[in-house]
Structures are given as C-alpha cells and as structure tokens.
Chain A
C-alpha cells in the first residue's frame, strides 16, 4: 500500500477537524481516525500528534480532560474550544485558498 506524508502545516488542520467531527477524542482515536478517514493514504508519525496537541493546548484551541475508554482504560480526551473552532474555520479556508491556487497553477498547461 502506498502511503503519503501529510503536507507540512496541515497537521493542526487534520487534528482540529477530526476532533470537531466527533466532539471528544483521545490521542489514539485521533491518529486512527485520520488514517481511516483518509483511506489509509495519509501517514502521520503517530507520536508527533502529541507535541502538536501540546501546542494546541497552549494556544487554547483545545482543552483536555481525563476520562475512561470503552475498554475501561484511563485516557485523556481532547475537545475543541470556541477559539479552536474559529481556528479550524480559518485553517480550512486558508488550506482551500492554497490548494485552489496550486490547482490553478497545475491546470494551466
């Protein structure tokens, strides 16, 4: 199977969107969800999620609280804040702008 590195700078976007979709997730769920949603195309070094999550905590985009998993394990669940939702919107529109521009450049044969 062919796996691709995610484009630089999009990790935050992916995490934010993933959490936004299901409201509340722990680290493994986020990593797993990104992979599955992308049909196993996007390859994230799973551990790199954690420094990124710290950064997002500092920025106040997400909050974290401890809970229990379905398998009755202690896990830290992340949740978007209002600031986080705004950031997500901003990241999405920025990403679209960039992708749109790149696409236009490619299509101009």
Chain B
C-alpha cells in the first residue's frame, strides 16, 4: 500500500515539476532572508549578515538539485532532455530527417505489412481451446472424395465412428468434409438464391474444439446420430452480419438448401473462422445431413467413400508418437474389419505400405499456407534487406552529422560530460528517429497489408484473413524499430564520442579521425550497393519468370472467352436427370444465338479448378502403362469455345447420346503415351480396372492444354460428352466478339430465359482466370521489383550523401590541387573514380551473394536458372548507371571549386 502511495506522490511531483522547483526556490529564499534578518539583529553589517546566512545555509544550487533528485526522476528528465535535443537536432537538418523518416517508414512499414500476412497465414494459432493439443490425420494435401482403398488423408464416415470408439489417444475426435460446398440456398422470406459456403462437420466438431456459440447453441453429437435426422445449421458471425444484418431473432430462422429446410440453431463467435485459414464457412451443417446438401453426396454410411478430414484432441499425457502408433494399428484393423472391404492382392499391398501421419494442427489447415509460405518468406527476406539498406543509409547520414558535431562533443567532454552520457544521448536521438519512423511505418503498414491481401486474393472476393494490427504485430514492429535504431545509431554514437580532445578542439577538422570515419561510411555504402544488387538480381529473375509464365502456350485461346458459373444443384435439378441435360442444351442454344457470341458450352472444368481423375486401362495394351487420367465433361461446343485445335478424328456431335456407344476425346500426350503405335482413333479404353477396358471409344485427339496450372507438364486428359454423362456442369464459357459488357448482359438474359432461378456467379474471363492462377508469382515479381528499385533509390541517396560530404571535407585539398594547376576535368574524374570504385566493390561483393541467395528461390522460378546472366548483367548495369548519376552532382561541384574561395575558407 505504502508503495503505491509513494509512487502516486512521486508521479504527482513529476507532473508538477516546474511548480515544485518554484516552491523550493521560494522556500529557500525565505530561509536565507529570515536568517539574514536574524543576523542583522545581532549587530552585523548588511554584507556580513548576508554572507553569514549563506555560509550557514550551504550551496543553494547543489541543495536544490539534491532535493529535486530525491524524487528519483533524474533518468526520465535526462531522457526528455535528450529526446528534446534530438528533435531539435532533427529539425535543424530537415532534409536528412525527411529522408531518414521516409526510408524508415517504408522499411518498417513493409516489414510490418509482410509480417502481418505471414502471421495471419502461417503463425497465428487457431482461436480455439488449447490449439496445441489438436492433430490432423494425414497432412491435408488431398481433398475431395476418393475411392482408392486406404487413403492416408481422407477417411469415410464409418471409419471416423470406428476410430472414435476404439482409439486410446484422443480425448475427442471430429470429422469435417474435406471441401466446402459452395452452393446457393434461400433464406426464409427471400425469393432469390444466395451463395452459401457450407461446411459439413461431425457433431463432435464444436465440442472437440471447445468453441461455444455466441447466440444459441453449436452442433452436438446428438445432431449427428441418424442419417437425415437433424436439419439444423450454425452460421458464422460474418455471415450473420453480412446476410442477416445482425438480426437478433436469428434463432429458428429457416434456410432452404437443396430441397431441405434447415433451422438455424446458433451463431458462432466472431473470432472463429473454422479450422482452415483463409476459408471461412458461412454455415456449418452436421455430416448426417450430407445427402440433403447439394450436390447431394451420399457417403454417410458408405465404408469406403473417403471424403473426410479427421482431427483429434490429444489426451494430455499422450505424445504424438504414441498416438500415431495407436492410430496406425487401428487404421489397418478398421479397414480390414469392414465386411465389404475390397481385399484384392493389390489393395492389401497398398495397405501394408500406407502409414497415416499425424500433423500438429495448432495453426489450423490452410491451402494458402502451402501456396504462399514460400513467397512470403522470400518477401520477408526482401523487405528485411531493404530495411538493412535503409539502416545503412541513416547510419551514414548520422555519421556525417556527428562528424560535423565533433567540436560540440569535444567541448562537452572537456567540460566533464561522461562519454557514456554522450553515447546515451546519441542513442536516444537515434531511438527518437526510429520510433517516429516506426509510427509512420505502422500507419503505412495498415494500408499496405490491405493492399497485399487484395493482391494475394485470387478470387473476386478478398480472402477472409484478419491482418489488422494486433499486439503480436506491434511487438514485432517495436522490436525491429529498436533493432534498427541500435543498428544505425550504434556506430555513429561510438565514433562521434571517441576523440582526441585537444586535436578536435583545435580546429574541429581532425584529418586523422575524419579519415577513419570516411572508411566506415564507405563500407556502409558498399554494403548498400551489394544488398541492392542482390535484390535487383532477384527481382530480375522473378520478372523473367512472370514473363515466361504469361507467354506459356496454354493450348487453348485465352482471349475473348467469358466464363461464369451456374448452380443447377441448388434449384432442384437432379443429377443424372434428363431435365438437367436439357437445361444445359437449351442454355447453350440460347446463348449461341446471342449477337456477338461465336460459341458457348458448359463444362465440368475449364482451367485451374481442381480435377477429377481415375486410373484408366487401355484395351489390349500393357497394363503397366495404365495411369491416372484427368477427366472433363463438356458440351458439344466446348472445343470451339475454348479454341482447342482438333488434331485427328472428330469432336462430339448431337448423335452422341445416351443410347449410342460411349465416346471420348483424348489429349495429344494421352494418345502418344497410353496407346499402342498407330492412330488411337477407334481404339477402346475404360475407367477403373481391366473389367472396364471397353467403356469408351476414342473419336478424336485434341491439342494438349494447361489444366491445373501454367507450370505443369502436358496432362493426360480425356473429355466426355455431357449427353452421355449428365452431371452438374457448373462452368459455362462463351467465346465472344465485341464488348464484354454487352455480351455479358445478353448472356445473362439468355440464361434466365431458360430458367429465371438459375444462380449465376463468379463471372470472369478465361484470361483473368489464368492471371489468378499465377497470383503469387505476380505478387513476388511486383513487390520484389518495387523493393529492388526502392533499394537502388536508397543506395543512390547513400552515395550522393557520402560523396557530397567527402567533397565538402576536401574542398581545401581540391583548392590546393587546382591552385597547383589541376584541370577541372581531372578533379571531376578524381571524385567519379572514387564513386566507381565504391560501386565496383559493392558489385564484387554483391554478385557472389546474389548467386548464393538465388539458389534459395529456385522453386519460385519458371524458365530461368538461378544463375541467369541477363538478370545479373542488367542489375550490374543499373547499379553502375545509378552510381554515376548519384555521383555526378558532387563531382561537378568539386570541379567548380574556386581555388581562392577554397583556400580562404580554412
């Protein structure tokens, strides 16, 4: 208690310091005067009385200081004084200050922005109870529905139940469908279908994570007991906010999804975004209802419909290794125990080899993470280098300034100031500068991280990631700010205060100390140039990769294709039904008739949308050659719409129907590698085991196309006609001429003429779709180029600053040289020579560093080797040009020195 009382008194003194000093002053004056009067009364003279009073009192100044210090704020007042002094010093040279602040703000801001994204994507723990105890079965690379026996990532619902009962490692186990259902549904009282991102989860999902509803309740195991038994839904906070505008009466509202009416039973808490970073579901529905949610997968009681991710909470005393042993033992037991297990020799072999790994799930699942962790690490390194360059720059500026202050420090040291006190003052000045820069940087980062988020979002909607400022981020920024202050402040502080007193006092231009200071400054500039070179070379490589990617032959014609998505599953069309087929056929027909439309077609996929693949067996061909083939189901106009050239045979036509023999068009590489020599046209093959070998007849061969990404090799692809495979084909593409906007609205009208309720979403162009598939390459190329140029700019300022300073210092010497007959051009060359030498040294250091560093980024490159001579050469040339430009002004100034003026100025 007394401690706090004391602290409160000390603090109140702190805020009334000037009042305090005035009071003390008055008090002491009164004392002296009263004593003086008292002495006068003893018969002394005025002068004697005064000096006696003073003698008895002691030294008032010392006593005042002592009283003041008693309150214990000395350090703070020193600090204030230093900060104040630092600010004044900064204001005295506004040019230096602005450059320093801007480069700090950019450097720190860029670091903070990249880190905020890294934090959101890679580092932040899931907002659930003790996320450290969560583990995922497998590593979450696969998603979808697999029927390959013993998949190590995906599991069936009956498997989940068996595992839940039998395991000894987990306090609870939950399952989620491995992909979200992005469909359309109806909110009670509204007539228009709305997009909904639905995640199917086991009833144990919320209890296992320890997440409680903000309103109502979450799903429980009760909701997940009987197939189709529990039409309930939990909605996310953000959906509640977006679609229901925080409607307080959200509970018991109905949602019509497919043909089933679901009741909303709860709203999840705001911070909960599910378990997959960057993919926030709108609605959670129990897995028991999966058949009712379009596209109506029916795997609830299928022992081998492997579609779920399993996640468990480890018991407190169980290690990951123990759990893995337990899980793998049960994995075999459960799979072999299913009565309908397909126990072929092949499958048993596979089961023997399969091992389910358990991955820690502290930070959740993320497809963003695998996609962006590499680019983010690279960018983090890039902005780190930029910050280092900025530090070198500021160190140089401060060094130059502290050299100019040599006399000041000499005087202060001569008057008794301790060196540690001076160093402290200089470091405080640096810290003030850094903190100001850091504060600007945080402001800059707030905008930049939003921009970054936009840049990494490959879809039209921004990825739902929280990149707002948080404590961790601010601590990170504070840490790098302090680090930069120490980095750029330390050397000048120690340099400036180490001096030969008499030497400096004599003229303030001690030739010896200035010489070593220049060495240091030059080393800093060389480091800047070397770092800039590394950045320039890297950005050159990334730019070339991006250009190579944009020039890749996709196999189809990416120009003038409009692509949109429809969702027939949401409005009552059934899978396999002829109504669905006629919907697609009518739409194709209507849209094709729109003016400006050349061709139109539905398809299962276009580009970069995942895949559906199976093993294929070719009739009469070596079984070893069988391999996975990716399938696409398309309308008759697909090849014309996409502009995929037909190489042999024919494409689909209206005669190919449910009743005619099944036909397929195959890709060039499939024709070449999977069929016996000679033309494969007319050849038969099948999907699945050898018993299917006669399913399809090859009727045509088309050019190879890019299917998943621009980087991939040729894909073995086949195409089936929708007439023979009536599935939900959500992609619809249109080849058009003229204005996109006009065509788009006509296309929309045409589609809604066929069915006014059919939801249309994700409208884009094929070209844009391709662009989005290389988001991270573009991100890295653009940002590294930006930062590379920034680095060069900073180095330019560095060179300019150093050389201007050197020229000023050497005015005298230059004057003498000129008086002795040196040519102006010679003086010019004298300065330029020094600059070129610096640049050459920087490049000599930078080239090996760049070569070593670039090996680390080879996975991000496309079509260029890490040691790419053009990129290296371009970087060297750019740096040389910049160095010459930066040096030109100081060199010119040197050559214009008037010997008379120069000599007189000493």
Interface set of A (CB-CB < 8 Å, partner B): 26-28, 31-32, 45-48, 50-51, 53-55, 57-60, 66, 69, 73-76, 83
A28-B34, A60-B2 given; A50·B27 CB < 8 A? yes
Partner pick for B31 among A27, A54, A55, CB 8 A cutoff: A27
Contact A46 B58 (CB under 8 A): yes
Contact B6 A50 (CB under 8 A): no
B249 interfacial by beta-carbon distance below 8 Å: no
- Complex Cα distance, B58 from A17, in Å, reads 23
Partner pick for A28 among B26, B31, B67, CB 8 A cutoff: B31
CB neighbours of A58 from chain B (8 A): 6, 9-10, 70-71
Partner pick for B5 among A27, A28, A60, A69, CB 8 A cutoff: A60
CB neighbours of B31 from chain A (8 A): 27-28, 31, 46-47
A31-B31, A76-B23 given; A45·B6 CB < 8 A? no
B16 interfacial by beta-carbon distance below 8 Å: no
- Complex Cα distance, B29 from A52, in Å, reads 17
A50-B63, A59-B6 given; A26·B27 CB < 8 A? yes
Partner pick for A51 among B10, B35, B67, CB 8 A cutoff: B67
- Complex Cα distance, B116 from A85, in Å, reads 58
B456 interfacial by beta-carbon distance below 8 Å: no
Closest to B20 in A: A54
Closest to B59 in A: A47
Nearest Cβ distance between residue B235 and chain A, in whole angstroms?
59
CB neighbours of A76 from chain B (8 A): 23, 26-27
- Complex Cα distance, B59 from A65, in Å, reads 25
Complex interface bits, B59-70 against A, C-beta within 8 A gives 1, otherwise 0 = 110011011101
* Total A-B Cβ pairs within 8 A: 68
CB neighbours of A66 from chain B (8 A): 23
Closest to B64 in A: A50
A28-B35, A58-B9 given; A47·B23 CB < 8 A? no
Contact A46 B27 (CB under 8 A): no
Nearest Cβ distance between residue B30 and chain A, in whole angstroms?
6
CB neighbours of A28 from chain B (8 A): 30-31, 34-35
CB neighbours of B330 from chain A (8 A): none
Closest to A63 in B: B9
Closest to B27 in A: A76
- Complex Cα distance, B31 from A53, in Å, reads 14
Contact B56 A46 (CB under 8 A): yes
Partner pick for A55 among B5, B38, B70, CB 8 A cutoff: B70
Interface centre among B6, B31, B58, B60 (most CB of A within 10 A): B31
A26-B30, A60-B5 given; A48·B10 CB < 8 A? no
Contact A45 B26 (CB under 8 A): no
Contact A47 B5 (CB under 8 A): no
CB neighbours of B621 from chain A (8 A): none
Partner pick for A60 among B9, B34, B59, CB 8 A cutoff: B9
B79 interfacial by beta-carbon distance below 8 Å: no
Closest to A29 in B: B34
* A-contacting residues, B1-57, CB 8 Å: 2, 5-6, 9-10, 23-24, 26-28, 30-31, 34-35, 38, 56-57
* A-contacting residues, B386-434, CB 8 Å: none
A-B contact pairs, 13 of them (CB 8 A): A28-B34, A45-B56, A46-B57, A46-B58, A47-B60, A51-B67, A54-B71, A57-B9, A60-B5, A60-B6, A60-B9, A74-B30, A76-B26
Contact A73 B30 (CB under 8 A): yes
CB neighbours of A27 from chain B (8 A): 27-28, 30-31
CB neighbours of B30 from chain A (8 A): 26-28, 69, 73-75
CB neighbours of B67 from chain A (8 A): 50-51, 53-54
Name the prevailing secondary structure of the B interface residues.
helix
- Complex Cα distance, B34 from A83, in Å, reads 30
CB neighbours of B59 from chain A (8 A): 47
Nearest Cβ distance between residue B76 and chain A, in whole angstroms?
15
Range of interface residues on chain B?
A: 20 to 34
- Complex Cα distance, B10 from A55, in Å, reads 10
Contact B28 A50 (CB under 8 A): yes
CB neighbours of B57 from chain A (8 A): 45-47
Nearest Cβ distance between residue A99 and chain B, in whole angstroms?
27
Interface set of B (CB-CB < 8 Å, partner A): 2, 5-6, 9-10, 23-24, 26-28, 30-31, 34-35, 38, 56-60, 63-64, 66-68, 70-71
- Complex Cα distance, B41 from A32, in Å, reads 15
- Complex Cα distance, B13 from A55, in Å, reads 12
CB neighbours of A55 from chain B (8 A): 70
Nearest Cβ distance between residue B13 and chain A, in whole angstroms?
8
- Complex Cα distance, B66 from A26, in Å, reads 19
Contact A46 B2 (CB under 8 A): no
- Complex Cα distance, B5 from A76, in Å, reads 22
The 8 closest A-B pairs by CB, nearest first: A47-B58, A47-B63, A54-B70, A51-B66, A47-B57, A45-B58, A28-B31, A28-B34
CB neighbours of B27 from chain A (8 A): 26-27, 50, 75-76
- Complex Cα distance, B28 from A54, in Å, reads 13
- Complex Cα distance, B56 from A28, in Å, reads 12
- Complex Cα distance, B906 from A104, in Å, reads 78
CB neighbours of A75 from chain B (8 A): 27, 30
CB neighbours of A60 from chain B (8 A): 2, 5-6, 9
CB neighbours of B10 from chain A (8 A): 58
Nearest Cβ distance between residue B325 and chain A, in whole angstroms?
65
Closest to B56 in A: A46
Closest to A48 in B: B58
Contact B26 A47 (CB under 8 A): no
CB neighbours of B71 from chain A (8 A): 54, 58
- Complex Cα distance, B28 from A51, in Å, reads 11
A46-B57, A58-B70, A76-B27 given; A51·B9 CB < 8 A? no
Nearest Cβ distance between residue A69 and chain B, in whole angstroms?
8
- Complex Cα distance, B70 from A57, in Å, reads 10
CB neighbours of B24 from chain A (8 A): 50
CB neighbours of A46 from chain B (8 A): 31, 35, 56-58
Closest to B65 in A: A51
CB neighbours of B9 from chain A (8 A): 57-58, 60
CB neighbours of A51 from chain B (8 A): 63, 66-67, 70
- Complex Cα distance, B31 from A54, in Å, reads 16
- Complex Cα distance, B68 from A50, in Å, reads 10
- Complex Cα distance, B6 from A109, in Å, reads 47
Nearest Cβ distance between residue A38 and chain B, in whole angstroms?
15
Interface centre among B2, B6, B30 (most CB of A within 10 A): B30
CB neighbours of A50 from chain B (8 A): 24, 27-28, 63-64, 66-67
Known: A47-B57, A50-B27. 13 other contacts (CB 8 A): A46-B58, A47-B28, A47-B63, A48-B58, A50-B63, A51-B67, A54-B68, A58-B9, A58-B10, A58-B70, A60-B2, A74-B30, A75-B27
Interface centre among B2, B27, B57 (most CB of A within 10 A): B27
CB neighbours of B70 from chain A (8 A): 51, 54-55, 58
- Complex Cα distance, B66 from A32, in Å, reads 21
- Complex Cα distance, B27 from A66, in Å, reads 10
Nearest Cβ distance between residue B52 and chain A, in whole angstroms?
11
- Complex Cα distance, B767 from A8, in Å, reads 90
CB neighbours of B68 from chain A (8 A): 54
CB neighbours of B66 from chain A (8 A): 50-51
CB neighbours of B23 from chain A (8 A): 66, 76
CB neighbours of B60 from chain A (8 A): 47
Closest to A50 in B: B67
Interface centre among A28, A31, A45, A69 (most CB of B within 10 A): A28
Nearest Cβ distance between residue B67 and chain A, in whole angstroms?
5
Nearest Cβ distance between residue A35 and chain B, in whole angstroms?
9
- Complex Cα distance, B56 from A74, in Å, reads 22
- Complex Cα distance, B457 from A40, in Å, reads 88
- Complex Cα distance, B70 from A55, in Å, reads 6
- Complex Cα distance, B34 from A55, in Å, reads 24
CB neighbours of A53 from chain B (8 A): 67
